[in-house]
Every structure is written in C-alpha cells, then in structure tokens.
C-alpha cells in the first residue's frame, strides 16, 4: 500500500467512495482533509469555499453548528461539487445497528442524504456496519472505521485495533478506510488510512490532543489522508494555510512512493 500510487490503488478499492477519493487525490494532488470544526453556517460555507481547491475531503461535526438549518446542505454540496471534494461527517457512530441506522438517515441532520463518508466506532461490532449498510436508498457511501485515536491515554488496546482492522477487511465493499495513527494494513492497498492529529507547529492542546507533523504522519506513520483542523482554521488565511499543508503533504507522499 505505502509505495503504490493512488491512481493504482483506485483500481484495487472495493468501496465506490474509496475509488472516487483515490481519483480526486491523484488528480488534485492533495491528501488534505480539513476538519471544519466551526459553529456557524456562514463560517462553514466561507471556509469550504476558501480551502476547497486544496482538499480532497471536508470533515464536519454538523451538530456543533449553532444555527444549523437543512438549507445549508445545498450550497455546501454545490461548493463540494465545484471544487471536487467529498463531504465527510465525523459522526463516530457507536450504538446498536438499529439506532445507528436512525441516526444516519433520520433526525435533524439526515446525514446519509448528503455525506459521502462517515466515521464509526467498531466498539459494538459488526451491527454498526450492517446498520449503515442497510440504510435505505444509499448509493456511493463509505465508512471510516476508527481503530486508533490521536488522544493521549485512550483506552483502545492492541486486540481492539487488530479486530477493528479485521472488521474493515470483512466489510470491504462498505468500508473506505481506517482512522488510525500507524501502519496497520500494509497488504490492503484498497483501504485508505486517515490520520488526524496533524499540525505544522503545535504538539498538542490542553485536552489530550496530540499532533505530529505532516512529514511524520505520511512517511513514518503511513497516512494516506491527513486531517488538519485548527492548523488551518485558526490561521490568518485558512486558504493559504490549506495550500501549504497540501503541498508539504503531497511532497511527503511523493517521497514515500519514490524512495
């Protein structure tokens, strides 16, 4: 996986969104996912517009918007289509399959109607993935399973990590990839490694977040897609900062496939 170019891996992906994502990464030359953790719809739309040319994914926590209204979804989708990136709701589903299915497709946010990608915890086992998979009317949807976290002193142990990767392999048609901090599935080029906890300058925050630099996550820790939140959103110009992250991440990816 680590040495294969994204254009090749697109052909090996079993999940439709993974194929789409690999193609976007290869054509836009970006592995950057911006975590748009902002609390106003206007700020979210402006941020999406600014960073749009430099990202492959826009990751949302849609429930932190204080003025959420379903009207935001159409312009958000329009920006995503125009700049060729995918919408990714970091919902971290973690309930029984039936409840997850309701949380995915119903309620205020109707996540399945607009998010190509979502995250899920593997804690409850296969029911979560069955619930997501059997949600009505879905085409072109994918899931990132969370195997490891960037948080210091998380309770996740080695067997949880191994069993999560096993589940991801079993559900290859639904699972786009794995959220993790180290190389866990080198022999599975169709799966995408998504790694949060990335910052050019900071080493962490005061709430247990831990950061690595773009070079370290791509070269040493195997990241395909890097998630950057505050590193971009708190910069004076998020658009310029996103371009900077895109460029260092892409240089590290090229170095990885060429050495």
User: Which residues belong to the annotated binding site for substrate?
Assistant: 37, 59, 150, 209, 229-230
Of 59-78, binders to ligand UP6 (CB under 6 A) are 61
Other residues' Cβ atoms within 10 Å of the Cβ of residue 181: 22
Q: Is 126 a catalytic residue?
A: no
Report whether 181 contacts 57 (CB < 8 A): no
Of 101-160, binders to ligand UP6 (CB under 6 A) are 149-151
- CB of 12 vs ligand UP6, minimal distance in Å: 25
Per-residue HEC secondary structure of 104-146 comes to: HHCCCCCHHHCCCEEEEECCCCHHHHHHHHCCCCCCCCEEEEE
Q: Which member of 28, 90, 224, 244 is catalytic?
A: 90
Residue 181 three-state SS: coil
Q: Which member of 14, 23, 29, 92 is catalytic?
A: 92
- What phi and psi values does residue 35 have, to the nearest 5 degrees? -90, 105
Exposure string of 22-44, with b = 16+ CB inside 10 Å and e = fewer, is: bbbbbebbbbbbbbbebeebeeb
Shorter beta-carbon distance to ligand UP6: residue 10 or 115: 115
Three-point CA angle 239, 116, 209, nearest 5°:
55
Structure tokens at 24: 């976007």
Q: Which member of 14, 23, 29, 95 is catalytic?
A: 95
Binding site per annotation, positions: 37, 59, 150, 209, 229-230
CA distance 256 to 258: 6
Q: Is 240 a catalytic residue?
A: no
Interaction between residue 177 and ligand UP6 (CB under 6 A) = no
- Kindly state the number of chain residues that form the binding site for ligand UP6, as judged by CB under 6 A: 16
Q: Residue number with the shortest CB distance to ligand UP6?
A: 229
- Interface with ligand UP6 (CB under 6 A), residue from 10, 21, 32, 35: 35
- Interface with ligand UP6 (CB under 6 A), residue from 24, 44, 65, 90: 90
Start-to-end C-alpha separation, the chain = 14
- Interface with ligand UP6 (CB under 6 A), residue from 196, 214, 222, 238: 196
Q: Per CB under 6 A, which region of 11-19, 120-128, 222-230, 245-253 contacts ligand UP6?
A: 222-230
CA distance 125 to 70: 31
Other residues' Cβ atoms within 10 Å of the Cβ of residue 76: 21
Shorter beta-carbon distance to ligand UP6: residue 19 or 164: 164
Q: Is 90 a catalytic residue?
A: yes
Q: Measured on CA atoms in the order 24, 237, 229, 184, is the torsion positive or negative?
A: positive
- Interface with ligand UP6 (CB under 6 A), residue from 209, 212, 222, 250: 209
Which residues of this protein are in contact with ligand UP6, per CB under 6 A?
35, 37, 61, 90, 149-151, 179, 196-197, 209, 227-231
Show which residues are catalytic: 90, 92, 95
């Amino acid at each position: 996986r680590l040495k294969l170019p994204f254009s090749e891996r697109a052909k090996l992906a079993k999940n439709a969104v993974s194929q789409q994502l690999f193609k976007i990464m290869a054509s836009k030359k970006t592995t950057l996912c911006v975590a748009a953790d902002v609390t106003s719809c206007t700020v979210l739309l402006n941020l999406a517009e600014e960073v749009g040319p430099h990202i492959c994914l826009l990751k949302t926590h849609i429930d932190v918007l204080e003025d959420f209204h379903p009207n935001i979804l159409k312009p958000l989708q329009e920006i995503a289509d125009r700049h060729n990136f995918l919408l990714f709701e970091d919902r971290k589903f973690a309930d029984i399959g039936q409840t997850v299915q309701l949380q995915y497709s119903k309620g205020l946010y109707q996540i399945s109607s607009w998010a190509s990608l979502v995250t899920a915890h593997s804690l409850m086992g296969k029911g979560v993935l069955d619930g997501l998979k059997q949600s009505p009317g879905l085409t072109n949807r994918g899931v990132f399973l969370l195997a490891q976290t960037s948080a210091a002193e998380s309770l996740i142990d080695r067997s949880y990590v191994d069993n999560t990767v096993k589940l991801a392999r079993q559900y290859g048609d639904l699972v786009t990839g794995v959220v993790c901090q180290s190389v866990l599935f080198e022999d599975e080029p169709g799966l995408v490694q998504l790694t949060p906890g990335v910052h050019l300058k900071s080493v962490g925050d005061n709430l247990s977040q831990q950061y690595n630099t773009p070079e370290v996550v791509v070269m040493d820790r195997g990241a395909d897609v890097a998630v950057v939140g505050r590193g971009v959103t708190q910069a004076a110009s998020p658009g310029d900062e996103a371009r900077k992250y895109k460029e260092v991440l892409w240089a590290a990816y090229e170095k990885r496939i060429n050495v």
